[in-house]
Structure 1
Amino acid sequence: MELKSPPRWQRLALLAGWLLSVSALAATERAGVDRQGNAHIPAFTVPYSSYASPQARQMFQRVLEQGRHAPPLAGPIADSRSYYDRINSDRAERMRRLYPVRIGNRRIGGVPTQVIMPARGIAARQRKRVLINLHGGAFLWGAGSGGLVESIPIASLGGIEVVSVDYRQGPEHVFPAASEDVAAVYRALLKQYPARNIGIYGCSAGGVLTGEAVAWIIARKLPVPGAIGTFCGSVTDMGGDSTYMAPALNGDPLTAKPLKLADLPYFRQAKVGDPLAFPANSPALLAKFPPTLLITGTRDFTLSSVIQSQRLLSAAGVDAELHVWDGMWHSFFSDPELPESREAYRVIVRFFDRKLGR
């Protein structure tokens, strides 16, 4: 049987397709992507997000300056605590001018806490509800002023009582000390409020601790809270693209070994596979989580882990709601003047208002 060659137009089409394929392959090779998908990226300029507000662009420079002067993580803990307390105290004062509150200190369940109340009083719909805040700070700093930064706008806008927990931190204490403290406060509040009317939330280390505390609560067979918020940190360890890309976008030195939670002093005795430390290790545990709000930004080094946490929670059947702000950095809503911060506060308040019991 005689084989006929394809018509000329088909030969031209095949040639064009082949040339496009070669061109695409050459472009990929020039970009430095190997067969494993590892990208070797030459120096280039990434403009600041066109979607971010002018206020965010200006504040970003201030945040970069703060980062350049921060004490090293491995340095004396007193230096880090003093440095971040000055920053957070300034933020808290700026917040109080925008969001009037009353602040008191109280021991709840034997644990020191700050109780933040809206200056105009508790809203009628919130009288049988309470929020627990878990401050950030790498499980090393953030007690006091850091909790106020995360609590003041939520208490004021939401018309709700917020209890910020001064949980035990490293290097003096190790896992599960913080989870035990949160559970003690939660157990005490259960005497006043139904579990469905209690919310827990935190940012950065506080977002991680929120997931750990819920895991601890479940393991202790306590009723789960009505809803939680894990911001700029969630139920997985840090990993993914953002641990490499965010430092570059934030002007930090690049590293071949990004920081892991297990590298922090607080976790030095924790096992990497322990679901009470890293709840993502147990889909069965995640399936028992309450509705969860997740917040991050595209310049946050925890972006990938927060996205992965939302994915795992959703796969486990949890109502997991993710919000990402373009151009925003780690814990961006700690600065109250940004339009993006005001949006984040509204998202948090509305989420708990929808999800908590009445």
Structure 2
Amino acid sequence: MKLTRYRRTVSIAILACLFGAPVFADSQQPGIDKSGAVTGPAFAIPYSTYASPEAAKMFQQVLADGKKTPSLLLGIEPSRTFYDKINTNRANRMQKIYPVTIHAETIGGVHTDVVLPAGGIAAAQKKRVLINLHGGAFLWGAHSGGLVESIPIANLGKIKVITVDYREGPEHVFPAASEDVAAVYTALLKQYQAKNIGIYGCSAGGVLTGEAVAWMISKKLPVPGAIGTFCGSIAEFSGDSVYTAPILNGQAVPNTPLKLASLPYFAGAKADDPLVFPANSPALLAKFPPTLLITGTRDFSMSSELQSQRLLDDAGVSAELHVWDGMWHSFFSDPEMPESKEAYAVIVNFFDRQLGR
């Protein structure tokens, strides 16, 4: 009798797995309403077994830092100070691993930081340049945040990286940042061919990268040779990850998930405007250059990245997507993890393959 019951249990488990309904010991079934919304009992989700030990340790620090984030109700300056301190620490750690030289330069009337590999630009990279657009919710991240995103890429790629101090909210609104990026880009076109210029950014910088390319297309400028949109891309933050990522990062499930269009920078802008979200226009996307997309399974922007890759692919654009298990928003801002090193290598390799084609 016990053997029969055992065989029946195993058979049910096998059938369930084969037909998409896996069975877990001691599991409780969640409730699902007609709209597909899921509710269920409290549960524990272990940290990813695919992530490195270094990532598991860093994840605890990320959670601790998240609890210290100042409220925007206090104004913008406390947040800018808070993130500048974190990013300055990251940039200092990066320079010990990836030596570079840094100098300020005004390009096209816009303040930038120029990051050069300490050993000099490689011969094969002298006719190429990368433009970085820092993250920070279109509110913070200038200088230190840009250095975090530029230092390892300049060093490993043996290439010049120019990180742009574009205008941010709440002092400025869309399309101020797109105009600044286009001004820097136009100035660089006097020295570099468009096919040899790459643009990339993370979070708000990833979104701005897409917006800037859309702006350039609207102004009849030649598109850059390749772009990278990391942890933020051409589509609004939405989908599963805006609900699942907060849970996986120890936060409450949001009643109203963050929308990019609700940020101060986008005051007065329309979410259906293709210059805000290029995903709104397949015809516009068809003119985009090869695009690299990077995210992680604990990144609230993951679904946006997946949707962006899908739409770019549908439009006939070469769109390369990389997703790291267990990784959070802008995970590669901390240089010590193997996953960060892998991301840097992916970025450098992508632009090396795509620029000049």
Counterpart-to-counterpart distance in 2, 1:244 and 1:203: 20
Please identify runs of 4+ aligned residues in structure 1 that moved more than 2 A. Answer: 26-30
Q: Answer yes or no: is 1:202 the counterpart of 2:171.
A: no
> What is aligned with 1:106?
105
Question: How much does 1:270 deviate?
Answer: 0.6
> What is aligned with 2:76?
77
> What is aligned with 1:288?
287
Cα deviation digits, residues 68-101 of structure 1 (max 9, x gap): 0011234310000000000000000000000000
Counterpart-to-counterpart distance in 2, 1:30 and 1:230: 37
Counterpart-to-counterpart distance in 2, 1:314 and 1:49: 29
Cα deviation digits, residues 158-207 of structure 1 (max 9, x gap): 00000000000000000000000000000000000000000000000000
> What is aligned with 1:45?
44
Q: Answer yes or no: is 1:324 the counterpart of 2:319.
A: no
Question: How much does 1:271 deviate?
Answer: 0.6
Q: Secondary structure of the equivalent of 2:206? A: helix
Q: Answer yes or no: is 1:250 the counterpart of 2:249.
A: yes
Cα deviation digits, residues 279-336 of structure 1 (max 9, x gap): 0000000000000000000000000000000000000000000000000000000000
Counting only pairs closer than 5 Å after superposition, residues 1-358 of structure 1 correspond to structure 2 as 30-357=29-356
Question: How much does 1:254 deviate?
Answer: 1.6
Q: Secondary structure of the equivalent of 2:322? A: strand
TM-score, normalised to structure 2, is: 0.92
Question: How much does 1:30 deviate?
Answer: 3.3
Question: Which consecutive unaligned segments of at least 5 residues does structure 2 have?
Answer: 1-10
CA contact under 8 A between 2:235 and 2:279: conserved in structure 1? yes
Counterpart-to-counterpart distance in 1, 2:72 and 2:324: 27
Counterpart-to-counterpart distance in 1, 2:32 and 2:295: 27
1:74–1:263 distance in 2 versus 1, CA, 3 Å: farther
* Alignment-mate amino acid for residue 221 of structure 2: L
* Alignment-mate amino acid for residue 210 of structure 2: G
* Alignment-mate amino acid for residue 241 of structure 1: D
Q: Secondary structure of the equivalent of 2:92? A: helix
Counterpart-to-counterpart distance in 2, 1:29 and 1:93: 47
Question: Which consecutive unaligned segments of at least 5 residues does structure 1 have?
Answer: 1-15
Q: Secondary structure of the equivalent of 1:89? A: helix
Question: How much does 1:342 deviate?
Answer: 0.2
Q: Secondary structure of the equivalent of 1:105? A: strand
* Alignment-mate amino acid for residue 243 of structure 2: Y
CA contact under 8 A between 2:243 and 2:254: conserved in structure 1? yes
Aligned residue pair count = 339
> What is aligned with 1:9?
none
* Alignment-mate amino acid for residue 122 of structure 1: I
Identity rate, percent: 70
* Alignment-mate amino acid for residue 329 of structure 1: W
CA contact under 8 A between 2:204 and 2:232: conserved in structure 1? yes
Counterpart-to-counterpart distance in 2, 1:127 and 1:33: 57
Question: How much does 1:33 deviate?
Answer: 1.4
Question: How much does 1:35 deviate?
Answer: 2.3
Question: How much does 1:115 deviate?
Answer: 0.2
* Alignment-mate amino acid for residue 269 of structure 1: G
Counterpart-to-counterpart distance in 1, 2:73 and 2:173: 16
Counterpart-to-counterpart distance in 2, 1:187 and 1:288: 18
TM-score, normalised to structure 1, is: 0.92
Counterpart-to-counterpart distance in 1, 2:266 and 2:313: 27
Counterpart-to-counterpart distance in 1, 2:268 and 2:332: 32
Counterpart-to-counterpart distance in 2, 1:83 and 1:41: 36
Counterpart-to-counterpart distance in 1, 2:223 and 2:246: 36
* Alignment-mate amino acid for residue 101 of structure 1: V
1:262–1:298 distance in 2 versus 1, CA, 3 Å: same
Counterpart-to-counterpart distance in 2, 1:220 and 1:73: 35
Greater C-alpha Rg: 1
Q: Secondary structure of the equivalent of 1:164? A: strand
Counterpart-to-counterpart distance in 2, 1:273 and 1:204: 20
Question: How much does 1:29 deviate?
Answer: 9.7
> What is aligned with 1:6?
none
* Alignment-mate amino acid for residue 49 of structure 1: S
Q: Secondary structure of the equivalent of 1:30? A: coil
Question: How much does 1:256 deviate?
Answer: 1.4
> What is aligned with 2:6?
none
* Alignment-mate amino acid for residue 327 of structure 1: G
Question: How much does 1:48 deviate?
Answer: 0.3
